[in-house]
Amino acid sequence: MERKYRMDNKDENKDYVVRLDKARKSRSKNDYKKYFMIGGAGVLLVAGVIAAGAAVKRGSVAPVALATASEATNQSDSKNIDGAAKASEEAIKQAEESKKVLASYKNLGIVKASGYLNIRKNPGTDGDVIGKLQGDGACDVLEKTADGWYKITSGGIEGYINSEYVITGEEATKKAETLVKLRAVVKADSMNIRKEPSKSSDSVGQALADERFEVLDQTDGWVKISSGYLSSDYVTLEYSLNEARKLDLKAMVFNYYKNLGISNVDNFLNVREEPNEKGKVIAKMPSKAAGEILETTTDGWYKIQSGSITGYVKSDYIITGQPAKDEAMQVAQLMAIVNTDMLNARSEPSTDSKIWTQVSNNERYPVLKQIDGWVQIELEEDSNAYVATDFVDVRYSLPQAIKFSPLEEKNNAQASKRTQIVNYALQFLGNPYVWGGTSLTKGADCSGFTMSVYSKFGVGLPHYSGSQGGMGTSVKSSDMKPGDLLFYASSKGTINHVAMYIGNGQIVHAASRRSGIKISSWNYRSPVKIRNMLGD
């Protein structure tokens, strides 16, 4: 039986070889038939897929999972096609929205200035500034005056702008086509811009009613913009061009406070780390400074946030409610707030003008004049400079707390003397500036202040900042100590101001009639000299 099985197997192998040979010959002669049949099969496959799809649509058969490599490739291609189709739909929608936006303007104008362009109440550089249009901002041009001004409307503001910085007609339309974006329009009086998409995240700024911000992304009830996140509860999303923003009028300072408190003192109010008289002093609130009252303790203290400072103040020295608002309206000033590390200050409103000093980040300076692209600021009494509007935020604001910790007495006698000089000088914070004055209580100018403070400790100084700058010994900024004097120069390079270093990167000085004796950062502008008057 075993032999018969082997014989049969051998014959079967032989037959298999013969059949295989015939198949090879047949295949070599009929390759063209194979290709024809493959092509036909492809057609039938496509037809089958279409028929199956139709059947599935009718509900007559269930869809079958695809498994072949070619079918998997088709699935990938389908996804790519879907993505392309979606992008195409978005492009079409963008184009349609762009047409609608452009059609809403009767005579479109686009600002071509760097930074922003002032909108004035009347045509001319002397007209009151009532708003601002950022570069690439849009407006409707209502008419053109004979002296180079456009009367425009934008963002609910009607006023005048310099026509030199505006393009119109086909050029404006073509430019605007690239500027229509999905924007978040603020509908609340004011709202926080958050660092992260969460109500518990730190606030990095404020957005005011009707301001527009380009939408970068949307996620879980939040809209991402260039500076942070806005809650979608308080904005509407619409395709638009950027438009004008109203000048922050005095009343708009209230948008920054929900529970306003104003310091009711003649000089400075201590801000403490804890709500008691023994709490460490961490800052001082100048007279009429503003803060947000966060909570009230049971023993007569307010927890308050003022600027970057959060701490406790005696409630006896804080006014609230309508009296606080009335006071705020009296003291709010138009300020230029620096938003870059160091900003060049020039003697004239031009980049061709000499840079004669630099001002530091977050410092606030009273605004004396606004010219397109430039702001004239007050540094001290009779010492003014121009800075570019690209690097400052111009708005009405209230005084805020100043970070400050008093110097402690040291065992070292020399250190103790310096501490005594500084602490004595700080007793006169808030007292008035009087040109030529030497009284620490009734009024002094910058050199009269330093002269009178040093006189208390047996050091005689002349009553002129230039002369004081020639006394003592030179000190590097990295080596200065409390009590050293810092000197600042005019645009001509002549010393015209002096201040006293009090430690922690700060100075005290009689600055101007606006601010009196106050605390500033030592590099609120660049000093030209630092001198040690004690010889230690």
CA atoms within 13 A on the CB side of 450: 31
Contact present, 338 and 430 (Cβ < 8 Å):
no
Contact present, 168 and 108 (Cβ < 8 Å):
yes
- 463 tagged catalytic: no
| DSSP H stretches of helix in 165-229 | 169-177
Instruction: Say which residues have a Cβ less than 8 Å from residue 356's Cβ, sequence separation at least 6.
Output: 345, 346, 347, 385, 489, 490, 491, 492, 493
- 446 tagged catalytic: yes
Closest by CA to 509, choosing from 480, 486, 478, is 486
Closest by CA to 325, choosing from 261, 265, 400, is 261
Give all strands of the β-sheet with 129-134 in edge-to-edge order. Answer: 166-168, 108-111, 138-144, 149-154, 157-162, 116-120, 129-134, 245-246
Amino acid occupying residue 174: K
Q: How far apart are CA 80 and CA 192, in angstroms?
A: 40
Q: How far apart are CA 36 and CA 392, in angstroms?
A: 76
- Which of 111, 446, 461, 502 is the catalytic position? 446
Amino acid occupying residue 468: Q
Q: Which helix (H) or strand (E) holds 407?
A: none
Q: Which helix (H) or strand (E) holds 41?
A: helix 31-58
Instruction: Say which residues have a Cβ less than 8 Å from residue 501's Cβ, sequence separation at least 6.
Output: 480, 481, 482, 483, 484, 485, 486, 507, 522, 530
Instruction: Say which residues have a Cβ less than 8 Å from residue 1's Cβ, sequence separation at least 6.
Output: none
How far from 2 is each of 8, 9, 11, 13, 52, CA to CA, in Å? 10, 11, 14, 17, 53
Q: Which residues make beta-bridge pairs with 528? A: none
- Which of 183, 284, 346, 509 is the catalytic position? 509
* Catalytically annotated residues: 446, 497, 509
